[in-house]
Amino acid sequence: MAGNMGGNGIFSQTGLPGELESNWVLLEQMRLSVRARAQNEVHCRHLACWAEERPKTRFRRPSVVSEHRFAIGVIISDLSEVIPGTSVAPGGEEQGGGRRKGRGKSRDPGRAREELGDFEARLAKVGLHLIEGEEKFEEMDTHLEELDGKMEELHEELRGALDSAVDKLASEGESLRLSHLDNYAALRDENRSLREQVDRVVDENTHLREELDKVLGKLKEVEQQVSLVAIAVVQEEGPMLRGLPWLCPLV
d(CA 244, CA 233) in angstroms, rounded, equals: 13
Residue-by-residue pLDDT tens, the chain, 251 positions: 333 444 444 344 444 455 566 666 766 776 677 667 766 766 666 666 655 555 444 444 445 455 555 555 555 555 544 444 433 334 444 444 444 444 445 557 777 778 887 888 888 888 888 888 888 888 888 888 899 889 999 999 999 999 999 999 999 999 898 988 888 889 999 999 999 999 999 999 999 999 999 999 899 889 888 888 888 877 776 555 555 554 444 44
Residue 17's beta-bridge partner residues? 11
Q: CA end-to-end span of the chain, whole Å?
A: 194
Q: What are phi and psi of 15, to 5 degrees?
A: 80, 5
Contact between residue 133 and residue 72 where contact means Cβ atoms under 8 Å apart: no
9 sits in the region (left: phi over 0; alpha: psi -120 to 50; else beta) called left
d(CA 94, CA 8) in angstroms, rounded, equals: 12
Query: The whole model's pTM is what?
Result: 0.32
Task: Give the domain ranges of the chain.
Answer: 2-87+109-164
